[in-house]
Structure 1
Amino acid sequence: MILERLEALPVGSFHYKLLLVTGLGWLFDSMDTGLIAFVLPVLTKDWGLTPAQAGWIGSIGLIGMALGAVLAGTVADRIGRKKVFTITVLLYSISTGLCALSWSYESLLVFRFLVGFGLGGELPVAATLMSEYAPSHLRGRFIVLLESFWGVGWLVAACIAYLLIPRFGWQIAFVIGTIPALYVFLIRLHMPESVRYLISHGRINDAKDIILELERKLHVESRPFAKELSEAEREQPNAAATSFTTLWTKPFRTRTIMLWLAWFGIVFSYYGIFMWLPSIVFAQGFAVVKTFEYVLIMTLAQLPGYYAAAWLVDVIGRKYTLSLFLLMSGICSFFFGNAASASSLLAWGAAMSFFNLGAWGVIYTYTPEQYPTTIRALGSGWAAGFGRIGGMIAPMLVGMMLANAFGMSTIFLMFASVFVIISAVVLTLGKESKQKTLEELEEAYEN
């Protein structure tokens, strides 16, 4: 009865406020990730860092993100989504501020690891929480819109880099990165715990109180709850009995393989392309990539990509939208790598950004839907964490290829191939989940 009333709630101010609160967390995450990309060249010059040392500053954050995604996802299924979301936001905010006080290269590495840990932990937990509150017929749209805040965060980072760092130094970027610590108060005020999480842990009265409060806020005629729970609520398993091995039992094995491969491929390609993008194409003689306008065009192209994906996930489905966007990312990557002029470089670069970031939005929608409530954050965290391994490998691999005189066309052929392969994996192994409640999906896990 509780879950039926949750699903029956009309879309209103609560859902949009939750989207904004979780989306701001996404924006701050993206802003921090973008800032280190813009700070690194300045820091390398000021501290006289070698290319290897500069590379480690970028890589250490990805290592932290991998561990954060895995551990935060596991903990969120045990102590709650809201608590873990709050803790990870605080961790990356405070650690970002400490980066501004770094007194040595080694101290900066420690702080960047902590920043990455917080970032990696926050993202899958936020997506899980949003997916457990969004109504089934609009769940995909809400999660992709949540992911679209990432593009806005990159725009904010670019503006900080070009407007403030030249005047105030690289430290100002990290000082601004502490602002999300204040945002924790918004989380405490406006973000309830997941009703599905509360039911799975036997906290039925707390779940009922949240539903009654939401019905009041959304002007829904409320009524007392029946003492008897519905069958779906009675059969909620105990979360304490779940573990990593649960992801590899028969109902979930194929889903886990599909998600891990998809996450690995998309993270591998994203970080391999975008961390090296300016260096690769500038080396080919395209000076335009050093301009602020180029960064702006590439970033702005992300936003319509998110919105197109947000519409398609509830029309043709998650599986087919994700597969399509991955395939188109591969095609655009190939032509980008073979661009012969600055105009074609910008056109294919914008198209690549459009489809690549649209795919990111869909995979954050698709992943939590593949697991039941008791292992949803665990499964999402492990998939994202495994994907981060791709993010660690790709930048180093591109560096080795450049050192061995591989050209831009060869490097982007590699990324295009990865996109095509994971598109086929999703199309072959993926299960469609559009327009279904999370409980209906849970009933299908046994099939």
Structure 2
Amino acid sequence: MADAVTEIVETRVAARLDRLPWGRFHTLVVVALGITWILDGLEVTLAGSVAGALKESPVLQFSNADVGLVASAYLIGAVLGALIFGWATDRFGRRKLFFVTLFVYIAATTATAFSWNVWSFALFRFLTGAGIGGEYAAINSTIQELIPARMRGHTDLAINGSFWVGAALGAAGSIALLAPGAFEPDIGWRACFLIGAVLGLPILVSRFFIPESPRWLVTHGRAEEADAVVAEIEGRFAAHGHVLPEEDLAVMRFSTRHRTSFRDVFDTLFRLHRSRALVGLSLMTAQAFFYNAIFFTYALVLTDFYAVPASHVGWYILPFAAGNFFGPLLLGRLFDTVGRRTMIALTYAASGILLTLSGWAFAQDLLTAQTQTIAWMVIFFFASAAASSAYLTVSETFPLEMRALAIAIFYAIGTGLGGVAGPAVFGALIETGSRGNVFAGYLLGSALMIAAAVIAAIWGVAAERKPLEAVARPLTSLD
């Protein structure tokens, strides 16, 4: 059971955070914490871009099955990392954990560069995934709790879309480092995995300027600290000439406790909010399979079916990444205006239908490497916004006391069902050399996306422009 109630707190912390205009503080939050998606994009892209180099490495000599194995190791690590670090984030605080998870990532991706066989490579990729999975839980919850309600949707989608900035960096890095003659065959791919460590170190320093979430502090009996944090944030705005509106701010009453039991968590997820759990599970599973099945194996499609040299794969990722980046960026505001339910259903359905059409063209051998890339650009313009909205949904529709763990649970289940299986299944389908078999895999991904669209349209939550506490009443709220 949860710890006994220690005190009753009345606070305006949430309303004070939501009334703020956009300022340098929010930009710092986005840069210092949003790096998570850039790093994940970098890692996933490198895994695809260096697949050919790993197969050609005189030391590793990977097979297509090995490529699928290490991709799954990364995702299994992400699942376990999300669960462990997600629980710790709700228990010990957002700020402590977003330092731990980034450090784990930096150490593990550095170690990957020094792998000596398939098993050491898989182990270090597992640990890299654990760091990234933990980042998703710690960072999503922190960002949600610091960004004003009226900006939360499009900000969150834009941050998630920055995954593709990392993808572009990974593609560009692989082009430079895997170019013929640039490095010895066993050195170029190793240098690729050091890019993340170079990016991560300065971000680790910048996080010292991000405070603990005031919302988390309030529910853990530290109301005075929460007030001090918000006052310091407001002071930054005042120092730059912002005049905050004088208005009646909503007062919330909380009973404080230091931890939430697993019994309370699962009761909330699968009884109190079971329809929201169904939506979150369907969205996360569908997008995980859709993305990971295709993205972790796109290099194999290009090399095996279109005879693209392994060293040129990065060139095809740059336009693909652009489509993925601009999708959430351009569609994001519609999630705050048209609404969550409509836009989530629309983007999921469009992704599934378009993949079916392009998959049929692929099966009929009607596409070239260039037109295949254009088709993927269009599909993932919508799919990127859809995937980003899945993370937005699971991070804003559950109570504050268990937000990080809820994110972790749905990320873990969705990734476990859709993400871990996806690369392995598609790796095996590609290995057969049959376009028809690969098309069957595309149809499965499309069906999952369309089913998720229907579920979101029926049971989705209209969370646009609402305070987090109005979307999901905190477990300890007395109002």
| TM over 0.5, shorter chain | yes
Q: Distance in 1 between matches of 2:30 and 2:135?
A: 14
Does the CA contact (< 8 Å) of 2:401 and 2:474 recur in 1?
Answer: no
Alignment of 1:46-61 (within 5 A): 46=57, 47-61=60-74
Q: Match for residue 211 of structure 2?
A: 192
Q: Deviations over 1:272-301 (max 9, x none)?
A: 112223433655447599654422211111
Q: Distance in 1 between matches of 2:64 and 2:154?
A: 41
Aligned residues with identical type, % of pairs: 25
Does the CA contact (< 8 Å) of 2:300 and 2:430 recur in 1?
Answer: no
Q: Distance in 1 between matches of 2:336 and 2:431?
A: 45
Shift of residue 438, structure 1, vs aligned partner: 1.0
Relative distance call for 1:242 and 1:373 in structure 2 (3 A) is farther
Query: Which residue of 273, 277, 280 corresponds with 1:252?
Result: 273
1:178 matched to 2:205? no
Q: Deviations over 1:220-272 (max 9, x none)?
A: 5699xxxxx97524345653345542343532222112211211111011111
Q: Match for residue 459 of structure 2?
A: 429
Q: Deviations over 1:350-377 (max 9, x none)?
A: 1112111111221222211111110111
Does the CA contact (< 8 Å) of 1:328 and 1:355 recur in 2?
Answer: yes
1:93 matched to 2:106? yes
Q: Distance in 2 between matches of 1:396 and 1:56?
A: 7
Does the CA contact (< 8 Å) of 1:22 and 1:146 recur in 2?
Answer: no
Q: After superposing the two structures, state which structure 1 stretch, 343-352 or 18-27, moved more.
A: 343-352
Q: Match for residue 109 of structure 1?
A: 122
Q: Match for residue 356 of structure 2?
A: 334
Query: Which residue of 416, 423, 430 corresponds with 1:395?
Result: 423
Q: Match for residue 226 of structure 1?
A: none
Shift of residue 51, structure 1, vs aligned partner: 2.8
Consecutive unaligned residues in structure 1, runs of 5 or more: 224-228
Q: Deviations over 1:119-162 (max 9, x none)?
A: 11102321211111111111101111111210100000001100
Q: Match for residue 16 of structure 1?
A: 27
SS of structure 2 residue aligned to 1:420: helix
Q: Distance in 1 between matches of 2:121 and 2:465?
A: 46
Alignment of 1:119-268 (within 5 A): 119-166=132-179, 167-168=182-183, 169-179=188-198, 180-188=200-208, 190-219=209-238, 232-235=252-255, 239-241=259-261, 243=263, 244-268=265-289
Amino acid aligned to 2:450: V
Relative distance call for 1:27 and 1:400 in structure 2 (3 A) is closer
Amino acid aligned to 1:347: I
Amino acid aligned to 1:19: V
Amino acid aligned to 1:384: Y
Does the CA contact (< 8 Å) of 2:297 and 2:423 recur in 1?
Answer: yes
Q: Deviations over 1:49-92 (max 9, x none)?
A: 23322321111011000111111111110111111111111101
Does the CA contact (< 8 Å) of 1:165 and 1:172 recur in 2?
Answer: no
Does the CA contact (< 8 Å) of 1:76 and 1:377 recur in 2?
Answer: yes
Does the CA contact (< 8 Å) of 1:263 and 1:387 recur in 2?
Answer: yes
SS of structure 1 residue aligned to 2:465: coil
Query: Which residue of 296, 301, 321 corresponds with 2:318?
Result: 296
Relative distance call for 1:70 and 1:221 in structure 2 (3 A) is same
Relative distance call for 1:98 and 1:215 in structure 2 (3 A) is same
SS of structure 2 residue aligned to 1:234: strand
- Aligned residues, how many? 440
Q: Distance in 2 between matches of 1:112 and 1:411?
A: 25
Q: After superposing the two structures, state which structure 1 stretch, 66-75 or 30-39, moved more.
A: 30-39
Q: After superposing the two structures, state which structure 1 stretch, 315-324 or 292-301, moved more.
A: 292-301
1:43 matched to 2:54? yes
Relative distance call for 1:288 and 1:333 in structure 2 (3 A) is farther
Q: After superposing the two structures, state which structure 1 stretch, 415-424 or 21-30, moved more.
A: 21-30
SS of structure 2 residue aligned to 1:177: helix
Shift of residue 19, structure 1, vs aligned partner: 0.9
Query: Which residue of 329, 337, 356 corresponds with 1:315?
Result: 337
Q: Match for residue 269 of structure 1?
A: 290
Q: Match for residue 7 of structure 2?
A: none
Q: After superposing the two structures, state which structure 1 stretch, 21-30 or 124-133, moved more.
A: 21-30
Q: Match for residue 74 of structure 1?
A: 87
Q: Distance in 2 between matches of 1:242 and 1:209?
A: 31
Q: Distance in 2 between matches of 1:285 and 1:38?
A: 15
Q: Distance in 2 between matches of 1:310 and 1:115?
A: 29
Q: CA RMSD in A?
A: 2.5
In the superposition, the TM-score normalised over structure 1's length comes to 0.92
SS of structure 2 residue aligned to 1:436: coil
Shift of residue 437, structure 1, vs aligned partner: 0.4
Relative distance call for 1:202 and 1:100 in structure 2 (3 A) is same
Q: Distance in 2 between matches of 1:155 and 1:402?
A: 24
SS of structure 2 residue aligned to 1:434: coil
Q: Distance in 2 between matches of 1:230 and 1:319?
A: 26
In the superposition, the TM-score normalised over structure 2's length comes to 0.86
Q: Deviations over 1:181-230 (max 9, x none)?
A: 34211111x2111110000101111111111111110115699xxxxx97
Q: Distance in 2 between matches of 1:288 and 1:91?
A: 33
Q: Deviations over 1:93-113 (max 9, x none)?
A: 111111122233322222111
Does the CA contact (< 8 Å) of 2:137 and 2:407 recur in 1?
Answer: yes
Q: Distance in 2 between matches of 1:248 and 1:154?
A: 33
Relative distance call for 1:159 and 1:423 in structure 2 (3 A) is same
Amino acid aligned to 1:411: G
Q: Match for residue 356 of structure 1?
A: 383
